[in-house]
Amino acid sequence: MIKISEVKKFDHIKIDWVEDGNYAVISINRPDKLNALQNMTLKEISEALETLVVDPKARCVVLRGTKDFTKRPAFSAGADLSSRSGSDLDQRNLRHQSHAMYRRHKYYDLIEEFPKPLIAAVDGYALGGGFELVLVCDIVIASKRSAFGFPEIQRGIFAANGGTQRLIRHIGKYRTKQLMFFGDQYTAEQMYEWGIVAFLVDDDKFEDILHEKASWLGNAPTNSLFVIKKCVDYGTQVPLNIGLQFEQFGYAV
Active-site pick, 132, 189, 193, 247: 132
Given 44, 50, 152, 207, which residue is catalytic?
Answer: 152
113 is catalytic: no
Q: Is 132 annotated as catalytic? A: yes
Three-state secondary structure along the chain? CCCEEEEEECCCEEEEEEHHHCEEEEEECCHHHCCCECHHHHHHHHHHHHHHHCCCCCCCEEEEECCCCCCCCEEECCECHHHCCHHHHCCCCHHHHHHHHHHHHHHHHHHHCCCCCEEEEECCEEECHHHHHHCCCCEEEEECCCEEECHHHHHCCCCCCCHHHHHHHHHHHHHHHHHHHHCCEEEHHHHHHCCCCCEEECHHHHHHHHHHHHHHHHCCCHHHHHHHHHHHHHHCCCCHHHHHHHHHHHHHC
In one-letter notation, the amino acid at residue 128 is G
Long-range contacts of residues 157-160, Cβ cutoff 8 Å, at least 24 apart: 159/128, 159/129, 159/131, 159/132, 160/101, 160/104
Catalytic positions are: 132, 152
